[in-house]
Structure 1
Amino acid sequence: MRIDLHAHSNVSDGTQAPADVVESAAGAGLDVVALTDHDSTDGWAEAAVAARKTGVALVPGMEISCRTREGISVHLLSYLHDPAHPGLLEEITKAKDARHTRAQKMVTLLAEDYPLTWDDVIHHVAPGATLGRPHIADALVAAGVVEDRAEAFSSILTSHSRYWVQHYAPDPALAVELVREAGGVPVFAHPVASARGRIVGEGTYREMIDAGLAGLEIYHRDNPEEGRVFLRRIAKRYGLLVTGSSDYHGAGKPNLLGENLTSPEVFARIEELGTGSAVVR
């Protein structure tokens, strides 16, 4: 079985509709794909229809944007949770609202120096999608300011730029607790992706593990090999699941579906642990 447990649609910052993500997964020879849009489950229903049509099993999921007390960004994958769980839904809604306000403030700052308006950004956001920096990047590309998203993120939209605006995000341990309460399976996404920014120390891992962390996404293109050695040691010490995924974004990133995979044994364990929703077959 070929299993990829991390993919995004245009419900967040991917470039394809949820159904198209599933169809692309079928074209890539995958047996299982997880839809893990940022802070949203709005793509689940459409993706489920495509899953039944194509025969690709769909793992309903989500990627939750978190932040430690020290201000370090952490992304948490949630699989098979209840999308209507009040506690988790309240926290996600709070984070989504903060992203929207933050984006507006960033666009106001950017407009002082670049030909960019709020309408330019909204043009790149699918109805109901979680708005974020990738949509601002797409607007900058369309305006000819940068060549692609990667250039935008490495320069204008970096956390060190004058256009950066902080936004609310839950503590990662709290997010783990809420995912567990919602019947989901929490997995730490690309934990040692230092090229993305600062990474957390072992203290944060212990807090997340104490809260119920189930696994680590070790096999991801942004985790360097020396970091994977560290992650394998943590996984072995605490009995955590080890996953591998593409973090597919369509044309938004070079990541290819199936470039990293999760074992059938780990997938079976995730399906066993997840009680808030079910794999769609």
Structure 2
Amino acid sequence: MMGGEYVDLHCHSTASDGTLTPAQVLRLAKHSRLSALSLTDHDTVAGIEEASREAAKVGIDFIAGIEISAEYPHPGTMHILGYGIDPNDPSLKSLTETLIAGRDRRNPRIIARLNEMGVHVTMQEWQQEARGGVLGRPQLAAILARKGYVSSIKQAFEKYIGQGAPAYFDKERLTPRQAIERIRAAGGLPVLAHPTQLRVRDFTQIEIEIKKLRDFGLAGVEVIHSDFDQVTVQLLTDLADRLGLLKTGGSDFHGSNKPEIELGVANNRRIPREYFDRLREALEQERRSATAQTTRT
């Protein structure tokens, strides 16, 4: 395929736990010959305005996005991507403030536990690493690696701050239904991110979970991701088609916090432009329907 036929619908910037600014992510997307992108920072839309401006400047189609953490039983995690949300929606702003406040209450507990374990790191160092963005564990992992407590970001999660590790503390989350409803209330379409991270016993259980989410208003499933092999991609693609859900895909790029992941590439796969176009069409249809309903009432 020629350049311009690929996109990335799942990536992060310094507004959350990435290492490139929103503008730098868009410039990298242009350099990588992507034709469209959605910035999906964790629990915040703080980078959307900058990203949107840069997208227009470099000539890349752009959809505003967010990635919201939802409640889910250990050892799994559930993240809901919201596409086409209005970053100025008052309820969305209130939601992101609540989610970030939950992180702010959790993070000092992580630091205190690490200090108890003889790992010398401070909140100030973490804030500096975040460069004004949302504090995320990948930034803390980068500090631990740089200080020599671990050999890699991955080891930092396994040894100290990942689920089940001694310095792990959970944060406050919405229920899956609440996350989906909040995204739709802000004009967006909710999509289940990386379904394999639910860590259920088999693919049949993934299907059951996705059907439950569809009943709550889920609009799509991420079928291409850096975690997925070809078998998983095909299973999720077939499932999305069978359930009438949108298909999306993304690298889950975080910059140097996940150095093995390249923007626009998910485990040696590219994300087709078709996914972006169908997502945009679905958003336009939702807006037309909402306008028609408002006119009738």
TM-score w.r.t. structure 2 length? 0.85
Alpha-carbon shift at residue 68 of structure 1 (Å): 2.5
Q: For 1:124, what is the secondary structure of its paired residue? A: helix
Aligned residue for 1:264? 273
Give the conservation status (yes or no) of the 8 Å contact 2:16–2:135.
yes
Distance 1:201 1:25 in 2: 31
Aligned residue for 2:140? 136
Structure number with the bigger relative contact order (C-alpha 8 A, sep ≥ 6) is 1
Aligned residue for 1:240? 245
Is it true that 1:58 corresponds to 2:62 in the alignment? yes
Give the conservation status (yes or no) of the 8 Å contact 2:77–2:197.
no
Give the conservation status (yes or no) of the 8 Å contact 1:121–1:136.
yes
Give the conservation status (yes or no) of the 8 Å contact 1:100–1:132.
no
Q: For 1:9, what is the secondary structure of its paired residue? A: coil
Alpha-carbon shift at residue 65 of structure 1 (Å): 1.2
**AA of the residue aligned to 1:118:** M
Distance 2:51 2:71 in 1: 29
More off after superposition, 202-211 vs 33-42: 202-211
Give the conservation status (yes or no) of the 8 Å contact 2:76–2:197.
no
Alpha-carbon shift at residue 158 of structure 1 (Å): 1.9
Q: For 1:236, what is the secondary structure of its paired residue? A: helix
Give the conservation status (yes or no) of the 8 Å contact 2:14–2:22.
yes
Q: For 1:107, what is the secondary structure of its paired residue? A: helix
Give the conservation status (yes or no) of the 8 Å contact 1:5–1:35.
yes
Distance 1:270 1:211 in 2: 19
RMSD after superposition: 2.2
Map 1:110-121; keep pairs closer than 5 Å: 110-112=114-116, 113-121=118-126
Distance 1:48 1:78 in 2: 16
User: For residues 180 and 262 of structure 1, do their structure 2 counterparts lie closer, same or farther at Cα, with a shift above 3 Å needed?
Assistant: farther
Give the conservation status (yes or no) of the 8 Å contact 1:248–1:255.
yes
Give the conservation status (yes or no) of the 8 Å contact 2:83–2:189.
yes
Give the conservation status (yes or no) of the 8 Å contact 1:242–1:266.
yes
Aligned residue for 1:211? 216
Give the conservation status (yes or no) of the 8 Å contact 2:78–2:197.
no
More off after superposition, 26-35 vs 150-159: 150-159
Gaps of 5+ in 1: none
User: For residues 2 and 201 of structure 1, do their structure 2 counterparts lie closer, same or farther at Cα, with a shift above 3 Å needed?
Assistant: closer
Q: For 1:131, what is the secondary structure of its paired residue? A: coil
Aligned residue for 1:157? 161
**AA of the residue aligned to 2:135:** L
Identity of aligned residues (%): 33
Distance 1:66 1:132 in 2: 16
Distance 1:162 1:71 in 2: 15
Is it true that 1:252 corresponds to 2:246 in the alignment? no
Aligned residue for 2:293? none
Q: For 1:37, what is the secondary structure of its paired residue? A: coil
Q: Report Cα offsets for 1:18-62 as digits up to 9, x if no partner.
A: 110000111111111111111111111211222122112222111
User: For residues 267 and 44 of structure 1, do their structure 2 counterparts lie closer, same or farther at Cα, with a shift above 3 Å needed?
Assistant: same
Map 1:73-112; keep pairs closer than 5 Å: 73-112=77-116
Alpha-carbon shift at residue 106 of structure 1 (Å): 0.6
Distance 1:71 1:210 in 2: 24
Aligned residue for 2:291? none
Alpha-carbon shift at residue 198 of structure 1 (Å): 5.5
More off after superposition, 231-240 vs 2-11: 231-240
User: For residues 71 and 167 of structure 1, do their structure 2 counterparts lie closer, same or farther at Cα, with a shift above 3 Å needed?
Assistant: farther
Q: Report Cα offsets for 1:163-202 as digits up to 9, x if no partner.
A: 11121111122211221121112111111147xx568744
Give the conservation status (yes or no) of the 8 Å contact 1:215–1:235.
yes
1:182 to 164, 186, 192: 186
